[in-house]
Amino acid sequence: MTASKSSRARNARARAAARSGNAAADRTSRGGTATRPGAAAVKQPAVVKSATATKTGPAVRTGANGAGPNTRTNGQAKLPAVSAPAAPGGLLAKVRAGLAGVFSPGESPVPLWLRLTTWLVALAGLGVSTYLTIAHFTEATLAGCNETGGLVNCTKVTTSAQSYVFGIPVAVLGLAFYVFMVAIMSPWAWRATRREVNLVRIASLIAGVGFVLYLLYAELFIIGSICLYCTSVHVLTFILFVLTVFAAATWGIGRARSSS
């Protein structure tokens, strides 16, 4: 009986030791520190955060110009986009486009041939008037004129009392007139559709033809001689008058300014 009890006690202690060993092995497999049977369980240390871990940088605003929205990067500021400078030659391109529009048919109801013809005639009149003005102030003899008397005598005409009107040399008046004609007869001016521009053009030529008629009367009936250069200016003025009246009669004189 005694032997049987001691045998059961030894078996119980063996089973208890086996359970303690199994429990310790189970804790070791889960990451804990291996302990002897019956020792207090030791807790594993807590996970330590990495010392080098850093927070993401705050939102960085763009430059003072406010050229873009706020951006968030890893501690770096995003620079605003810089627009590329305008390509050179923009003004030159506009000038070329304007010239192309001036000389292209259909920009004005008046055809291109008439616009260019009146401009060339005005340039010819400006050239002759400039030569007469220079000859008047330098008292030079006009080239190609007959000075021996007769109907053609340029010096007699340019030095007569009728070569001044209101104290102003007729050559200077002709120069001023043709400076204006070159401007008003240019293709740029013909493109204007305002009624007032065409009326000024016609009115100035009416005044010019009236002055030409006075000069012809003075040459033929008062002075008794004519000047070939002066006559060429008279003819050019009459051609401009005819072409301008023809353009106004055929294509109109433009629209009136709208009242606002």
> According to the model, what pLDDT value does residue 93 have?
76
| Residue ranges in 30-58 assigned as alpha helix (H) | none
> According to the model, what pLDDT value does residue 145 have?
80
Spatial contact of 196 and 127, defined as CB atoms under 8 Å apart: no
CA neighbor of 176 nearest in space, from 233, 235, 232, 220: 233
Spatial contact of 119 and 178, defined as CB atoms under 8 Å apart: no
pLDDT tens digit sequence for 6-28: 667 677 777 776 776 655 555 55
Longest CA span, the chain: 184
> According to the model, what pLDDT value does residue 49 have?
46
Question: What DSSP element (H or E) covers 251?
Answer: helix 228-251
Q: Is the C-alpha dihedral spanning 152, 155, 156, 162 positive or negative? A: positive
The 10 Å Cβ neighbour count of residue 85 is 6
pLDDT under 50 in the chain at which residues? 2, 32-60, 62-73, 86, 102-106, 259-260
> According to the model, what pLDDT value does residue 135 have?
93
Superfamily of domain 107-251: VKOR domain (1.20.1440.130)
Spatial contact of 190 and 233, defined as CB atoms under 8 Å apart: no
Parse the chain into domains and list their residue ranges. 107-251
> According to the model, what pLDDT value does residue 174 have?
96
